[in-house]
Amino acid sequence: MKLVSLTLSLLLLAACQPGNTPRPVPSVLQIGGDLNCASGDHGYEDAQAGWGFCYPGTWKYNERAQSSTNPPGLDLTFDITDVPCTSPVPGVGTPSARPVCSPNAGLFAFMIISTYQRGSSPDLTSWILANLVPHPLPTASPTPPRSPSPSPTPPTFVPIQWGNATEAGRFADGRRIALTQGHVVILDLRSGVGQLDLEALMSTRLGTWKFTA
C-alpha cells in the first residue's frame, strides 16, 4: 500500500514539473485575414512595409524583395499569373464536369511596390522634391561664374483616394504614390500588350488598401 501511494505521489509530482506538459501551438493567421476583401478576393499584408490590399483570388504570384539605396527603402516585386482552368471534382456517378476558366487564365504581369521612409516631409510634394528630383553635385575646383541653370521640375501628380493614406496621387506615367504615417509607398503596375491588365484590376481595389505605418 505504501509502495502504491509513493508511486502515485511521484507521478503527480512529475506532472507538475515545468516542460513536461506540451504547450499548444499558436495558430497562424491567414495573410490579409483582417482585410475586408470582396467574395472571391484574397488579402495580402506585409507587416514590415506597413500595408495590405486585396487582389483577385485567381492570381498566383512569386514575390521578390530588394533593398533600394536612393532613396533608401524596400522594393517588393510580384510576378503575377492568372491561374489556368480548374476542373471541379465530379460527384459519385456523375460525368466529369467541364473545366472552369477565368477570362484571364494564363495571362501574366508584374507589379512593384516600393516603400520608403517618410522622414520629416510634411507632404508628398516636399518628399518628392527631396527624394525624386536630381540635385547637382558640388564641384571640386572653382569654375567661372555661370548663369544659374533652372531648377529641375519635380514630377507632378493628380490627387487621388488610396485606401486610408494621408495623401495620395497619380503620376503622368501611371505610377501611384501614397503618404502614410511613416512611409511613402509607390505602386508601379506593368503589363505587356495582350497580357494581364493590372491597371483595370488593381485600380478598382485601391479602396481595399490598409496602411498601418
- Grid cell locating 141: 575646383
Once rounded to an integer, what is the mean pLDDT over residues 146-165? 80
Query: Residue 72 above 80 pLDDT?
Result: yes
pLDDT tens-digit series, residues 132-141: 876 555 555 5
Predicted TM-score of the model (pTM):
0.73
Closest CA to 71 of 177, 169, 165, 163: 177
State CA 107 to chain mean position distance: 21
pLDDT tens-digit series, residues 35-65: 889 988 999 999 889 999 999 998 999 999 9
pLDDT tens-digit series, residues 87-133: 766 666 666 667 777 778 889 999 999 999 999 999 999 999 999 87
Position 143 scores a pLDDT of 58
d(CA 72, CA 115): 9
Task: Give the C-alpha distances (Å, rounded to integers) separating 141 from 6, 48, 138, 144, 147.
Answer: 92, 44, 9, 10, 17
Query: Secondary structure of the chain in the HEC alphabet?
Result: CHHHHHHHHHHHHHHHCCCCCCCCCCCCCCCCCCCCCCCCEEEEEECCCCEEEEEECCEEEEEEEEEEECCEEEEEEEEEEECCCECCCCCCCCCCCCCECCCCCCCEEEEEEEEEECCCCCCHHHHHHHHCCCCCCCCCCCCCCCCCCCCCCCCCEEECCCCCCCEEEEECCCCEEEECCCEEEEEEEECCCCCCCHHHHHHCCHHHCEECC
Once rounded to an integer, what is the mean pLDDT over residues 171-197? 95
d(CA 184, CA 154): 16
